[in-house]
């Protein structure tokens, strides 16, 4: 069913986004990659995916905090790949600090990338999906869309907003053949999480190892991180025939974090 569909995955040059992009490539989708990184490494990635899976793979360096750059990325996807069938909003950033010390610029940046970018990509991609009568929108949120965590005011606020956006879009397009769902992972050992260990340790006055054992894995009853490939498999499922009537849902993959 996904053969020759076109998938745009934001933040897909590493971490969860890369795992999602590869899973769609393995399902026969053409890809628009997006994200930051070394240009040579990204080109090698693009070539590897294209040759391994015999698909078209394009890349956009769009900064998704910019509505204009998002519009340019969507235009490129239309010109190079014929439009977007599957949109995965995955790009995200983090900053850890007490709310009284949280830099205003970091608040604005996190809200722009983690929340507003999803609105702008959906608004731009949705008309083409509606015209085709088929589309899949997946917003990679977080367990922090349900529960808060100290020192992450902007991230928690953004992820709560992503869930509200997901449900609203799903209701608006419920009879159109387009679905909109969210995936809420618990902690996944990605560069985003790795890079916040030192800041979290500093904010809480504990060691980085304590952050790993008590703050991260300590919240997940399974005692292990969620795997990026499992999140990717869920994303593919949400685009397949068995999920045609799944919309407005929040798929929690948190090792039992939210069950307690």
Q: Which two tokens stand for residue 95?
A: 């900053």
pLDDT in tens, 23-50: 999 999 999 999 999 999 999 999 999 9
pLDDT in tens, 100-154: 999 999 999 999 999 999 999 999 999 999 999 999 999 999 999 999 999 999 9
Domains and CATH numbers, the chain: 6-187+227-252 (3.40.50.720)
C-alpha distances out from residue 3 to 27, 28, 120, 121, 260, Å: 6, 4, 26, 23, 40
H or E segment at 252? strand 250-253
Catalytic residue ranges: 155
Using the predicted structure, report yes or no on whether residue 220 has a pLDDT greater than 90: no
How many CB atoms are closer than 10 A to CB 207?
Answer: 12
Mean per-residue pLDDT, 250-255 = 95
């Amino acid at each position: 069913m996904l053969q020759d569909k076109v998938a745009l995955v934001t933040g897909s040059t590493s971490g969860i986004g890369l795992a999602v992009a590869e899973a769609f490539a393995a399902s026969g989708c053409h890809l628009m990659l997006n994200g930051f990184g070394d240009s040579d490494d990204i080109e090698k990635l693009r070539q590897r995916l294209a040759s391994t899976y015999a698909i078209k793979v394009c890349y956009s360096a769009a900064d998704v905090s910019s509505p204009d750059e998002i519009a340019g990325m969507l235009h490129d996807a239309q010109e190079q790949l014929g439009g977007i069938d599957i949109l995965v909003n995955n790009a995200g950033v983090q900053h850890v600090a007490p709310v009284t010390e949280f830099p205003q610029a970091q608040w604005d940046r996190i809200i722009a990338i983690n929340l507003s970018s999803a609105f702008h990509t959906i608004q731009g991609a949705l008309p083409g999906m509606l015209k085709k009568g088929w589309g899949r929108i997946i917003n990679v949120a977080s367990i922090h869309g349900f529960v808060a965590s100290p020192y992450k005011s902007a991230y928690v606020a953004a992820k709560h907003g992503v869930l509200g956006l997901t449900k609203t879009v799903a209701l608006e397009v419920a009879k159109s053949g387009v679905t909109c769902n969210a995936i809420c992972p618990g902690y996944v050992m990605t560069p985003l999480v790795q890079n916040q260990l030192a800041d979290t340790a500093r904010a809480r006055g504990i060691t980085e190892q304590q952050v790993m054992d008590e703050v991260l894995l300590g919240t997940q009853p399974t005692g292990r991180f969620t795997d990026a490939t499992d999140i990717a498999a869920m994303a593919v499922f949400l685009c397949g025939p068995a999920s045609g009537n799944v919309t407005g849902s929040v798929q929690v993959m948190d090792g039992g974090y939210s069950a307690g």
